[in-house]
Amino acid sequence: MIATAPVDVYRRAIERVVQLLGDEGRLARYLRVPANRLHAWRTGAEIPPLAIFLNCVDLILDDERASTTQLFLRHGSGPGGVRR
């Protein structure tokens, strides 16, 4: 289990970004990598370079921040429920 845990983190991050962008091809173009290489990372057959993984993490965090901001704007409150 310990040996596969890091591979699973990379695989899950890439899978999440594929979901955010809509398909594997879009992510491959965004990252400027061959589709077959991305597929190998997505399936856990290979570990992506750190820079690729960090780009995926950035996209996930950007999406989370945007979602949180939209939630606050929709409900008219900031963190902790303080109305603005």
pLDDT digits (tens, 9 = 90+) for 2-41: 456 678 999 999 999 999 999 999 999 999 999 999 999 9
The residue among 3, 5, 9, 1 whose CA lies nearest residue 48 is 9
| Residue 9 to residue 50: CA distance in whole angstroms | 12
Kindly report, residue by residue over 35-58, the tens digit of the pLDDT: 999 999 999 999 999 999 999 999
| Residue 24 to residue 38: CA distance in whole angstroms | 8
Dump strand ranges (E) for 1-84.
none
